[in-house]
Structure 1
Amino acid sequence: MIRVIRTGALLALAGAFIHCSSSMFSNPPEQQFRIGASTVGVQSVASHLNVPWQITWGPDQCIWYTEQSGTISKVNPETGKTKLLLTLRDVFRDRTSGLLGMTLHPDLKNNPYVFINYTGYSKTKTKVSKVVRYSYDAAKDTLVSPVVFLEYPAWTSHFGSRIVIAPDGKVMVATGDGAQDGNAQNIQSPNGKILRYSLDGSIPADNPFKGSAVWAWGLRNPQGLVYVKGKLYCSDHGDAIDDELNLLVKGGNYGWPVVEGAVNTDKEKAFAKDSAVVAPLRAWTPTIAPAGMTYYNSAKIPELKGRLLLTTLKGNSLRSLTLDPTGNKIVGDVNYFEKIFGRLRSVCVSPAGDVYLATSNRDWNPNAAPARNDDRIIRIYRIDAKHASPTAKPAIVAHKSNEAINKGALLYTNYCASCHKADGKGIDKIFPALLNSAVVKGDQRNLIRTVLNGKNQMPKFAFIENNDMAILLTYVRSKFAAGAGPLTVADIQSERK
C-alpha cells in the first residue's frame, strides 16, 4: 500500500549551497598510483562522514550521498562544499540498519524523484524497512513529499538495500533476507528479493508474479546493483563461502539459502531438480563482502573502460571485472587499492571519468580503529604524464605466494579475521573474542565441533578440508591460548558428522 508521510517531522534543512570559485581539483594529489600505463591521483572530497552508504552522481555535478545515521547530503567535489538535503527523524540504526540505499531518477528535471531504503518505525513503533520516494524541490534545493512504496519486516541484519532505475523507467530494489533463512525462497516475503515497481509505487502488470513486486529471488544480502547495456548485475554476500556476482533475469531464482555458488553438492542438486537455479557469473571463496557497484564506460582511465567496478568490505579493495562481449560471462578480475583505504562501501563515476569511492571504516565491523578523517569520499582521477610521479606505486598489490606465507595465518585472515579481528579480540557484544577464550583453550572437541558446525550466527566451516582445518585451529590455539596444544587431521576427522 502506498502511503504519503507528513513531511514536517522528517525534514531538517541546512543553509543554501555555497558555490566557490576555488577548485580542489587544482590541489596536488594526496597519493599517486599506477593502473597499467595510467597514473591516478587520490583526493579526499569529503571526510569525517558517518558511514556514507550510497554515493551517486547528480545532474547538478554534485555527489549525492546517504549516511547510515539518517541524513542525505550532497557535496560539490570541486569545491568540497556540502549541502544537507534531508534528515530522517524516524531512522533506526543498529549495526547494519539505518539509512542505506538511494538512487536519483536519471531525468531529475522531468521526474524529480529520489528513492531511498532505510530502517525506521511503523505507526505502531515496530521496526520496519521502508522503500520511500521523495520529490526534489529544485527551487529550495531540498527533498519533500515522501511517499512510502513498501514497509516490510526489518529483522536484525542482511538488509540489501541498493536501488536503481531500469532502462524502462521501473524502480528496482534489492532486499536482504534479514538473516532469516526461510525468507529468500518464500515468494510471499519481500526479503531476499529484487523488487520491481513503477515510479508511482504500483506493481507493473508484466512482473513475473501477478500482483507481486517480486522480480527475482533467492538472494542473501545483495549490496550492489547496476545496469549495463540493458542487463542487470547484482553482487550478493554469501555466508562462509561463495560471495556472488549475478546476472539477474526476470523470475530468476538464485538459490539461497540452499544453493551457494554453483550447484555442486548433493543437497543443491536435489533442490535444483525442482527449482531452476541461476548460477552466478563469479563466486569468491574466501569471501570478500562485495558491496556497491558501477560500470566504467569512460576513456579517461583506459585500463578500466568497459569494466564493472565493485567495492568490497572484507576485501578492502576495488575490483575491476571484465565482461565478455555478450555480457554473460566474467572473463577478468583485477584487485585494486587493497588495504589502502580500508573498507569500501559504494562507488560512482563522474561524466569526466573520475571514480569516487565511499569508505566504511566507522561501520559496525571495522578492520581496526578508523583513521582520523574517516569516513571519506575519495576521488580517483587520471594525472597527465608531465605531472605523474615516477615513484607512484602500483594500485595492484603484489602478494607473496601461499607457500611463502604462514598458512595458518593466511587461513585465519581468509576465514576468521573479518569477525574476530587480527588481534583475536572480536567486537564487544557482537563477535566473541578468541584471545584467552575458554572455547579456544578448553576441550578441543568442542572447538572443532563449533567451527565445523557453526553456532548461533557463526556459519559452518565444514567445507574446509581436514588438513587445512587442523592448521587453522592449531594456529588459533597457539596465538590466542597460551599453552594449548596442536590439533591433528585425525582430531578433525573424528568430530565430523
Structure 2
Amino acid sequence: MRLAAIGVIAASVSVLVSYQPPKEYSPVKHYVPQDPVAVEHYIPLDSSVLGTNTVASGLDVPWEITWGPDNWIWYTEQGGRISKVHPETGEKRVLITIPEVLRKRSTGLLGMALHPDFERSPYVYVDYTYQKGAEIRTRLVRYTYRNEVLLDPLVILEIPGNTGHNGSRLTISPDRKLIFATGDAAIYPNAQNQQSPNGKILRLNLDGTIPADNPIKGSPVWSWGHRNPQGMTYGRNGNLYISEHGDAIEDEINLIGKGLNYGWPRVEGYCDTPGEEPFCDSIAVEEPLKAWTPTIAPAGLDFYGSTRIPEWKNTLILTTLKDCSIRILKLNRAGTAVIDEKVFLKGVYGRIRDICVSPEGDIYLSTSNRDWNPAKGFPKPDDDLIIKVTKIKDAGKLLASQSARTGNIPATSTNAESAGAAIYTQYCASCHKADGQGVAESFPPLKGAEQVLGPKRELIRIVLKGLSGPVKVKGVEYDQHMPAFAFLKDQELAEVLTYIRMSFGNQASPVTAAEVAAARKGNP
C-alpha cells in the first residue's frame, strides 16, 4: 500500500525537534484522590459502594478524556478546543483552540493520546476533521506542550473523512507505537481495501514513520474490516481492544491482532448467516468477543486493572451513547473472552462518550449530550460533564443517612408499551427520536412523512431494503444512510410499521405480517 500521506510523513520527520518541558510539569508520583464532597448517585456492588460527582460542567462534547502526566484530566472538545481540568478543584485551563476544525454532525476534534515519556518528549497527538475544498479530510497532528499551551503543529497523516464513520480513537501501545482507529468514512468497500487507510487500525512509529514489522510492508495498516471504531484500549498481555458501531445490528467488542480481517462489510458480528459463512471460510474472519443486537452504540473503552474497586478488576469498562450507560465486561484470565456483563448508570447522565482511569483506580466519564443526536430529556443546562466515579469510604453510614439512588438496570415494567413501540425504541428512536420528529439536517421526521402515510408497500420496501442517498421528506432533502431491517421477522416489521403509521399524530391503516411477507417475496 502507498498512501499519499507517506510523503508528508517523511517530510515531517525531518523537522522533528526535542524539547525539555519546565520542571514543574513533571509527573506527580504520589497523587492521593479524595472522596467526593457531594455524592450525586450511588452504585452498590457486592462489597463496595461507588459514588459519582461532577468534576466539570458546561463543556462542548468532551470527546476524548485521558489522565495527564500532571495528574490533571486532559480532554478534547468536539468544537476544536483542547483543555485540562484538575480532578479535585475543577479548575480548567485551555491549551489550544484549533480554528480549522470542521464541526458537522459527528465530525470535529476527536481522538487524543499523550507521549508515554512526556517529560522528555512533551508531545500530544490529536486527530480532527477539516474542510479541504469540497472534501472532508481527517488530519492526524502532533503538538508540542510548552508553558501551558500547545504549539508547533506537525501533520503526521491525512486520510479521507466524512460527516460520519470517522472512527478516530488514538492510543499508545506498550511497545510505543501510535495506534489510530479509523472508520470506513461511510464508504463500505474501504474497510476491505488494504490500499485505503479507512476502516482500519493503523500503526505508526511515534515520529510518524511506518514500523518495519507491520503486516504490509510500507503501510500503516495493522488490521482491517472495521466499520466505525469508537473506543480503544490496551489490557493485560498487550491485548488491544476496540469497541465498534454496527449498522442496524451487531455492535462489537473486538480483540485486535496483527494482520487480521474483522469482516465488515461482508460480515456483521459473528459468522452465523448463510451469506456470511462462505466469506468467513475463505478469508478467516476474526469474530468479536462480544456483540449486541439491538445496538447500544458503544463508545469509549478502558481496561480496569486496579484493586480499588475489586468487583471490577480485570474488566473492560465501556461507555454507550444510544443506551446511555456504562457496561462492565468481565474478562477471562487471558483477556480473550468476555464472561460476564453488568450495566450501570443507565439514563442517569444521558449519552456517555468516553472514560479514563486514574493511576489510583478512580474512573472518569464524559457525557455527549450536546452532540448532533441527544437523548430524550438532554442536554441539561449544565451539560456536557466530566464525572468522577469512586469508591465511597464508610458507605454504610452514608447510605443510612441519605436516600441513595442505585445505578443498576431499572426493573422492567409490565409491558405497558405495545410490541411495536418496544421495537421502535430498540431500533428507530435513536435516529428518528421518541416523538417521531427526527433530527434536523440529519434524520427525517416520521410524523406526517409521505413515505409513512403513503402506500404501505413502499414503506415496507424502504424498511426491508434500507436507503442510501438523497431522499425528500416533507419538502426537505436528507442525505443519510438508513440500514436495511430485513433481519426482523415479518410480524415484528408489521408491528413496528403499524406503530409508526398510527403514532406521532399519524392516522393510517395498520400493516399486516402477510403484507410484509408478500413484499419480501417481491409480490405487489
**What TM-score does the superposition give when structure 2 sets the normalisation length?**
0.88
Say if 2:43 is the partner of 1:43.
no
Residue 495 of structure 2 is matched in structure 1 by 471
Seen in structure 2, the aligned counterparts of structure 1 residues 482 and 135 have a Cα distance that, compared at 3 Å, is closer
User: Could you say what secondary structure the match of 2:174 adopts?
Assistant: coil
Residue 104 of structure 2 is matched in structure 1 by 94
Give the partner amino acid of 2:498.
T
1:32·1:393 contact (CA, 8 Å) conserved in 2? Answer: yes
Say if 2:43 is the partner of 1:33.
yes
1:87, distance to aligned residue in structure 2 (A):
1.1
Residue 422 of structure 1 is matched in structure 2 by 434
Q: 2:513 aligns with which of 475, 486, 489?
A: 489
2:155 & 2:206 partners in 1: Cα distance?
12
Seen in structure 2, the aligned counterparts of structure 1 residues 72 and 387 have a Cα distance that, compared at 3 Å, is farther
1:365 & 1:26 partners in 2: Cα distance?
31
1:4·1:146 contact (CA, 8 Å) conserved in 2? Answer: no
Q: 1:133 aligns with which of 135, 142, 146?
A: 142
2:496 & 2:136 partners in 1: Cα distance?
39
Query: Once the two structures are aligned, what percentage of the paired residues are identical?
Result: 50
1:109, distance to aligned residue in structure 2 (A):
1.1
**Runs of 4 or more off by more than 4 Å in structure 1?**
23-26, 401-405
User: Could you say what secondary structure the match of 2:280 adopts?
Assistant: helix
**Pairs within 5 Å for 1:40-439:** 40-122=50-132, 126-137=135-146, 140-229=147-236, 230-368=238-376, 369-384=378-393, 385-390=395-400, 391-400=403-412, 405-439=417-451
1:428 & 1:205 partners in 2: Cα distance?
47
1:407, distance to aligned residue in structure 2 (A):
1.8
- 1:130-181 CA-to-partner distances (Å, cap 9, x unmatched) read 11112222xx122222221111111231010001100100010000000001
1:247, distance to aligned residue in structure 2 (A):
0.4
1:32 & 1:156 partners in 2: Cα distance?
37
2:298·2:318 contact (CA, 8 Å) conserved in 1? Answer: yes
Give the partner amino acid of 1:381.
T
- 1:407-454 CA-to-partner distances (Å, cap 9, x unmatched) read 222111100000000000001221111112222222111111111110
1:208·1:214 contact (CA, 8 Å) conserved in 2? Answer: yes
1:243·1:285 contact (CA, 8 Å) conserved in 2? Answer: yes
User: Could you say what secondary structure the match of 1:389 adopts?
Assistant: helix
1:148 & 1:398 partners in 2: Cα distance?
47
- 1:180-225 CA-to-partner distances (Å, cap 9, x unmatched) read 0111011111000000000110000000000000000000100111
1:30, distance to aligned residue in structure 2 (A):
2.5
2:97 & 2:397 partners in 1: Cα distance?
41
Give the partner amino acid of 1:238.
G
| 5+ long unaligned stretches in structure 1 | 8-15, 18-22
1:317·1:336 contact (CA, 8 Å) conserved in 2? Answer: yes
User: Could you say what secondary structure the match of 2:319 adopts?
Assistant: strand
User: Could you say what secondary structure the match of 1:411 adopts?
Assistant: helix
1:276, distance to aligned residue in structure 2 (A):
1.6
Q: 1:480 aligns with which of 486, 497, 504?
A: 504
1:407 & 1:107 partners in 2: Cα distance?
55
User: Could you say what secondary structure the match of 2:343 adopts?
Assistant: strand
1:128, distance to aligned residue in structure 2 (A):
1.2
User: Could you say what secondary structure the match of 1:393 adopts?
Assistant: coil
1:81 & 1:149 partners in 2: Cα distance?
32
Q: 1:451 aligns with which of 459, 463, 471?
A: 463
2:34 & 2:307 partners in 1: Cα distance?
23
User: Could you say what secondary structure the match of 2:189 adopts?
Assistant: coil
1:438 & 1:493 partners in 2: Cα distance?
22
User: Could you say what secondary structure the match of 2:110 adopts?
Assistant: strand
Residue 13 of structure 1 is matched in structure 2 by none
1:4, distance to aligned residue in structure 2 (A):
4.9
Number of residue equivalences: 480
- 1:264-298 CA-to-partner distances (Å, cap 9, x unmatched) read 22221222233221000000000011111001122
Which shifted more, 126-135 or 60-69?
126-135
1:69 & 1:387 partners in 2: Cα distance?
43
- 1:239-271 CA-to-partner distances (Å, cap 9, x unmatched) read 000000000000010011110011122221222
Which shifted more, 37-46 or 67-76?
37-46
| 5+ long unaligned stretches in structure 2 | 1-7, 16-23, 26-32, 469-480
Give the partner amino acid of 2:194.
I
Give the partner amino acid of 2:96.
L
1:404, distance to aligned residue in structure 2 (A):
6.3
2:35·2:390 contact (CA, 8 Å) conserved in 1? Answer: no
1:94 & 1:415 partners in 2: Cα distance?
24
* Coordinate RMSD, CA, aligned: 2.0
Give the partner amino acid of 1:227.
Y
1:394, distance to aligned residue in structure 2 (A):
2.4
Which shifted more, 105-114 or 158-167?
105-114
